[in-house]
Structures are given as structure tokens and as C-alpha cells.
Amino acid sequence: MSHLMHRNLRQPLATAVRAEGIYIYDAEGRAYIDACGGAAVSCLGHGHPRIREAILRQLDTIAYAHTSFFTTEAAERLADRLVADAPPGIGHAIILNGGSEAVETALKMARQYHVERGEPQRDVVIARRQSYHGNTLGALATGGNEGRRRTFRPLLIETRHIGPCFAYRHMRPGESEADYAARAARELEDEILSVGPDRVIAFVAETVVGATAGAVPPVGDYFKRIRAICDRFGVLLILDEVMSGMGRTGTLHACEQEGIAPDIEVIGKGLGAGYEPVSAVLVADRVYEAFANGSGAFSHGHTYMGHPVAAAAALAVQEAIAEDDLLAAVRRRGDHLRRTLEARFGNSPHVGDIRGRGLFLGLELVQDRGSCEPFDPSLQLHARLKQTALRKGLMIYPSGGTIDGTRGDHILLAPPFILTEDQSDEIVRRLEETIDEVIRAL
């Protein structure tokens, strides 16, 4: 009998006892290909010697010092590295533990920024439907997935939500990507005007939407327009790259491909590659300066922020990515995986869309590719896919509610950057067997 209260109280879990490269092994000796890095976390695979050494070295030096008393070399070096590699205008970093905590930090930073500048009336955050920003209350309120919010709605701060930039579901027949990008971005302007421009704190968006929509990239100049709208109304742009950042899409930051830089960026997951719990908030100079020229302090902190062991691990991850040229590998291996997926599923009646960037790919499942009609949510297709894939020794990250929080199913793939072509082909083979078996049994 387990004394751990697991996420699902009815679903027994295998015990993971060992992991190496792209494989996790359970106590029965079964091997699982980690084709999703857990939840887009394990970007270097498992058991990377360099990260292990960096953690041990840091433990032998100093494991912990509270950040209200000391700084540490490990945290300073990670911040130097993050800033050196950051989008233009970013000059500082706050190091935290998880994605939700970092999103909370970003929200509070944005609010205090306006207070420091003498605009305390700004009290509204705008985000997007079908986004996920974390499970703590502020982050959950910001997220736009109704399925995840429903139970907790009475506890959530009021947040405005506009539509996502989601071409497969929302681009109209005959509409160009450019026109759709303009229409989707205009929703932000309309919402700011409806709230009152002097009341809006920030707009929060995942650069490439991950868990709730399945690797949905923006189209056209959507983010350039969003950046311009934010600037026009003095609204801060917070990009949540907890899932899509740190190399996953083939560039270190997903927003590099959009040609824009945020005021505040949130990163996590791949930052520590699963070796330590670590996330960060990257802060643009103009935001930092409001604090520096104002009260001189950010009213926020956590016991384990700036943790030296986590920082040492994250720095080693960044060094491994650079030295092994893994961003180029993500682009190359991402192209291969995508081409293989397209070859296998491009004409499948039940795979309506294959999308994403780099090694961050999504497949949306439909009853019929012509009508794009989703499966009945009561079938829980995504849960069946996950269980069947696991039986076949394949870890994938499916989810339901892709379209509106209730309808739609997708599968997210986010394998380690060290994936070989043979391993990639094996993932697609097992995935095809999984989808066939699940759909045949409906």
C-alpha cells in the first residue's frame, strides 16, 4: 500500500528504477522510450554524466544559502549565462524552482512594475484560451483551459481571455495566414480597449502552445503585431516558454523565430532537463529599471529560489547544449521526425493535423480528416492512447480538450535532443501501432 497520494488515485503506476539515454526502466525490467521527456522536460535524456558531475561538485561546495543573506557563484553564473543567451533587452534573471512558481513571479513582477511607475490602477491581466500556465492559483487563473479551471473557478482571480492563434481550428476557409494572424492579434487590441487601456497590466502567451493544445505554433506576423499592440498601450508582454523554450523548438528561445523579445519571459522544464527542479524569470532592462529607480525591491521571494545545486545543474545543461551543438540537432532530428510522422499519418483518416517546431510536435486526432470532427470526449481517447502506448513501451503526452477544454484530443511528442534517427523511427512505429489499436477498439 502506497502512502503517496498520487495524481490519479485509481490508476496504478509502475515504479521507475533506472534511466539511461532516452529510456526509463521499471521495477519489472520493462523499458520505455521517453518520447515526451515526461512533460517536455528531459531534453538531454537520462543519466547525462556531465550534469551528474556538476551537481556533485556543487554539493561538495555549498548546497544551500538563503537568498536574503547571500548570493552564490552558481546562481550568478547561471544568471550570466541566461542573460548572455537571452532575447535582446533582457538583462536579469530570477532563478526559481518550477514553472508555476515562475509564472506567479512574472505576474507579480508585472503588477509591481506598474505600481513603481505610478500606475497602480492597472489591475487586469489578459491571456488566451487553450493555454496552460501552471497549476497554482494565479497561473491557473491565467491559463485558458476550462477543463483545468472548472473546479477551482471560485478561487481564481478574474483574468480576461482572448482566442489563441490556432490555424488548424480557427483559420477560416480561404483566409490567408497573414489575414488570420492580423485577425487573431486584433482580438488583443479589442480586449485592451474594452477593459480600458489604462487598466491592463500584461498580456501572457505561450509562444508555441504546449500541453493544452498540442504544439500549436503562431502563424504569420502574429507576435510582431502582439508586440506592437502591447507597446502602444504600455502593456507588458509576458511570454511563457516553460515548455517551448530552452531549445525545444530548435532555437534557444521560441520567440527568436518570431523576431520579437518579451518584457518578461518564463522558462523551466528543459532548463534543468529534469536533473534538478529549476525555472527562471528573465527580466527586460526597462522592467528592471522601474524597480531600480523606484522602491529598489521586488516584494516577492521563495525559500528555495536561486538554489545553488539547481543552478549548477541548469548551467551544465546549457553548456552541454552548446558544446554538443544540440540546437542544430533539434532542427535536424525534428525535421526527420516530422517527415516520418507525415509519411505515416499524412493520409490517416484519424490524424487531422501534424504541427509544431523542432522536437516539439503535436498530432491532433479526429473522427474524420475531412470534417475535422473530434472524437466524443466521453471516449477519453487521450487516456486510452497514453495507456496503450505505455503497454508498448512508449511514453507520449496526450491530452483532451484540445479545441475548447472539453472537445478534441492530441498527442504531444517532445523527445530528448539526443535522439537518433533509429530511435525516432521506432517512436513513430510504436505510435502507429498505438493509434491503430486504440481506434480499432472504439
Ligand X SMILES: Cc1ncc(COP(=O)(O)O)c(C=O)c1O
CB-nearer residue toward ligand X: 148 or 338 = 148
- The Cβ-side half-sphere exposure at 323, using a 13 Å CA radius, reads 8
The stretch near ligand X (CB under 6 A) out of 96-104, 156-164, 280-288, 301-309 is 96-104
Q: Do the Cβ atoms of 402 and 214 come closer than 8 Å? A: yes
CB-nearer residue toward ligand X: 309 or 412 = 412
Could you give the strand order of the β-sheet that contains 90-96, starting from the edge strand earlier in sequence?
Answer: 90-96, 279-284, 264-267, 236-241, 200-206, 124-128, 160-162
401: region left, alpha or beta (phi > 0 left; psi from -120 to 50 alpha): left
Q: Do the Cβ atoms of 63 and 306 come closer than 8 Å? A: no
Residue of 334, 336, 316 lying closest to 324 (CA atoms) = 316
Residue span 112-151 as binding mask against ligand X, x where in contact by CB under 6 A, dash where not: --------------------xxx-----------------
In whole angstroms, the minimum distance from the beta carbon of 240 to ligand X comes to 5
In whole angstroms, the minimum distance from the beta carbon of 210 to ligand X comes to 5
Tally DSSP H helices, then E strands, for the chain.
14, 15
Q: Which of residues 18-57 bind ligand X (CB under 6 A)?
A: 39
247 binds ligand X (CB under 6 A): no
Residue 21, beta-bridge partner list? 46
The stretch near ligand X (CB under 6 A) out of 238-246, 257-265, 302-310, 350-358 is 238-246
**Residue of 44, 54, 103, 403 interacting with ligand X (CB under 6 A):** 103
In whole angstroms, the minimum distance from the beta carbon of 214 to ligand X comes to 12
CB-nearer residue toward ligand X: 72 or 207 = 207
Q: Do the Cβ atoms of 326 and 417 come closer than 8 Å? A: yes
What is the number of other CB atoms lying within 10 angstroms of the CB of residue 328? 11
188 binds ligand X (CB under 6 A): no
**Residue of 37, 45, 87, 99 interacting with ligand X (CB under 6 A):** 99
CB-nearer residue toward ligand X: 101 or 187 = 101
Interface with ligand X (CB under 6 A), residue total 15
In whole angstroms, the minimum distance from the beta carbon of 237 to ligand X comes to 15
* SS3 label, residue 357: strand
**Residue of 162, 239, 243, 366 interacting with ligand X (CB under 6 A):** 243
Q: Which of residues 197-236 bind ligand X (CB under 6 A)?
A: 206, 210-211
C-alpha to C-alpha distance for 107 and 114, rounded to whole angstroms = 11
**Amino acid, single-letter form, for residue 155:** L
Residues 6 or more apart from 435 whose CB is under 8 A from it?
A: 345, 348, 350, 351, 365, 385
* Helix-strand-coil split of the chain, %, nearest 5: 40, 20, 40
98 binds ligand X (CB under 6 A): yes
**Residue of 100, 142, 424, 434 interacting with ligand X (CB under 6 A):** 100
**Residue of 54, 230, 242, 359 interacting with ligand X (CB under 6 A):** 242
In whole angstroms, the minimum distance from the beta carbon of 129 to ligand X comes to 14
CB-nearer residue toward ligand X: 240 or 353 = 240
Residues 6 or more apart from 3 whose CB is under 8 A from it?
A: none
Residue span 268-307 as binding mask against ligand X, x where in contact by CB under 6 A, dash where not: x---------------------------------------
C-alpha to C-alpha distance for 215 and 207, rounded to whole angstroms = 10
C-alpha to C-alpha distance for 115 and 138, rounded to whole angstroms = 18
Task: Output the residue with the shortest Cβ distance to ligand X.
Answer: 99
**Residue of 104, 116, 240, 364 interacting with ligand X (CB under 6 A):** 240
CB-nearer residue toward ligand X: 240 or 263 = 240
Q: Which three cell numbers stand for residue 427?
A: 517512436
In whole angstroms, the minimum distance from the beta carbon of 135 to ligand X comes to 6
C-alpha to C-alpha distance for 147 and 140, rounded to whole angstroms = 11
Q: Catalog residues that contact ligand X under the rule CB under 6 A.
A: 39, 98-100, 103, 132-134, 206, 210-211, 240, 242-243, 268
